[in-house]
Structure 1
Amino acid sequence: MGKRVKENEGERLIVLYDGVCNLCLTSVRRMKELRSSADLRFISIQSLEESEEEIASIQSFPREQLLSRLHVIDQGGAVYAGADGIVRILRTVRNLKWVALLYRIPGMRGMADYLYRYIAARRYDWFGKADDGCTNGSCTLPRRE
């Protein structure tokens, strides 16, 4: 018989985020530090058109909808948005899978989604915006003359 593949091993997840949101940029930096069993690809929505990634699942999504919350797309094309997206990523992190299990408790999904939407709607007021030079997760310094 063939070798059995562990859940999430070798899997690829594309993570779309708002590249001018300071909270989003900080969250992406933290997610990049996670020891995920998946290949996580982070793409800011602002640089989506320049990206070489082919993401058919989101072509019908209006830009406003994409900017409203984080989106995670798996290899099969399934899209997980907001709290669902965060939980989808956590399912690939060995020491944090237990957090994803909490999401299955009745009422937790609705509460997590409400909290995510509440914070997302206020993220610019509370955390500010990065300047245009920070859209890819790193900021460019102004040119010296």
Structure 2
Amino acid sequence: MAVVLVYDADCPVCRAAADWARRNEGIPGTFEYLPCRSAETRSRFPAIAEGACLQAMHLVLPDGTILSGENALPEILRRTRRYRWAAVLFRIPGAGILARVLYRAFARRRHRIAKRLFP
């Protein structure tokens, strides 16, 4: 069963991240991709508030567990071909704190970053 990656489709950086996951998924169909602001996202996943979704990507696991931001990263990596080994790095002591700080700092600046990366 596919996991669902919910992302801000209006953000070039977020679209690039979803495209990266699509290109690197271990088995075709591993991920289902839904934009934050879609009617389908609102109807299938009412627990994901639009505001929260616009601040961080969300991953919905087959059992219904919802992971967001830095907590979704190891699960995304585990489901890739070439980068699944990197999921182990999140188990290093202190990695969760560092991932949280870096992810949130990046997410706050993603629109400015997008302007530089995608002029």
What's 1:111 paired with?
A: 98
Matches of residues 103-142 of structure 1 in structure 2 within 5 Å? 103-128=90-115
CA distance change for structure 1 residues 34 and 94 in 2, over 3 Å: closer, same or farther? closer
What's 1:81 paired with?
A: 68
RMSD: 1.9
Aligned residues: 114
Specify the SS of the correspondent of 2:37.
helix
The unaligned stretches of length 5 or more in structure 1 are: 1-10, 129-145
Question: Are 1:93 and 2:80 counterparts?
Answer: yes
The unaligned stretches of length 5 or more in structure 2 are: none
Q: Distance in 2 between matches of 1:63 and 1:16?
A: 10
Shift of 1:35: 3.3
What's 2:31 paired with?
A: 40
Matches of residues 30-69 of structure 1 in structure 2 within 5 Å? 30-37=20-27, 39-47=30-38, 49=39, 51=40, 55=44, 58-69=45-56
CA distance change for structure 1 residues 45 and 53 in 2, over 3 Å: closer, same or farther? closer
**When the two structures are superposed, what TM-score results if normalisation uses the length of structure 2?**
0.85
Identity, % of aligned positions: 24
Shift of 1:95: 2.6
What's 2:16 paired with?
A: 26
- Greater Rg over alpha carbons, structure: 1
